[in-house]
Amino acid sequence: MSRRSGVLEFAILGLLRESPMHGYELRKRLNTSLGVFRAFSYGTLYPCLKALVANGWLMEEPGGPPEGAPATALTGRRAKIVYRLTAAGKEHFEELLSRSGPDAWEDEHFGVRFAFFGQTSRDVRMRVLEGRRSRLEERLERMRTSLARSRERLDDYTLELQRHGMESVEREVRWLNGLIESERTGHDRHTPGTAERDKQDQSGDTDGLPRHRGGSRPDPSDDTTT
């Protein structure tokens, strides 16, 4: 499985942990909540969904059309299928959440992992944040070394572009430093702990992410077209 397909699998399972969705609703949520997927198509989404169903992590159920879906999105049987996370799928997603290795630090995967931090244990969050910071600090050092060696050969615009890239990395490192400090001091970020999530799961109230700021669930109307 490619790295990108692995990220998509993780995101699909995480969003469906919140509630079952049509493919149309799921694609829109992936686009609007997780910007890394803005460029992907139904041709990418549906093979991944079918693979997850084949693995027993999702199940397909018949359902009505998603509210607000355009007519072009409702042709054929695909628009009538609702995808629901199975018990095995939930277990698999929890296992994926527990991973904190280098893949979780990379550019494409980190943003998606961060979107589901509210469902992730604090020790895993810390390992991912510290790993991401370490990766960026290494990148920043390489950028500084490269710039020092090539500064005399660069024109003003190329030099400015290099500086802009370095400043972007420096800003993210500062942001990560703040997040890591908050995790270490135990500041409340309005996300439930593991025990609270387990209690909510037992009562049938799954705590899915991404959340809007303030800790509230996304409004279901967000799935309608704009």
**197-225 pLDDT, tens per residue?**
444 444 444 443 334 333 444 443 344 33
- Residue 203's pLDDT is what? 42
Q: Which of 18-27, 71-80, 204-213 has the lowest mean pLDDT?
A: 204-213
Band the pLDDT of 34: cuts 50, 70, 90.
confident
Query: Which residues of 78-146 form beta strands (DSSP E)?
Result: 81-85
More reliable by pLDDT, 90 or 2: 90
Q: Average pLDDT, stretch 35-43? A: 67
- What average pLDDT is seen over the chain? 79
Burial bucket for residue 32 (CB in 10 Å: 0-12, 13-18, 19+)? middle
Read off the pTM.
Answer: 0.71
pLDDT digit string (tens) for 140-163? 999 999 999 888 888 999 999 999
Q: Average pLDDT, stretch 172-193? A: 80
Cα separation, 84 vs 53, whole angstroms: 9
More reliable by pLDDT, 129 or 70: 129
36 φ, ψ to 5°?
Answer: -60, -20
- 154 CA to centre of own chain: 37
Band the pLDDT of 135: cuts 50, 70, 90.
very high
Long-range contacts of 217-223 (CB under 8 A, 24+ apart): 217/18, 218/29, 218/33, 221/67, 222/28, 222/29, 222/32, 223/21, 223/24, 223/25, 223/28, 223/29, 223/66, 223/67, 223/68
Band the pLDDT of 77: cuts 50, 70, 90.
very low
Cβ atoms of residues 15 and 89 within 8 Å: no
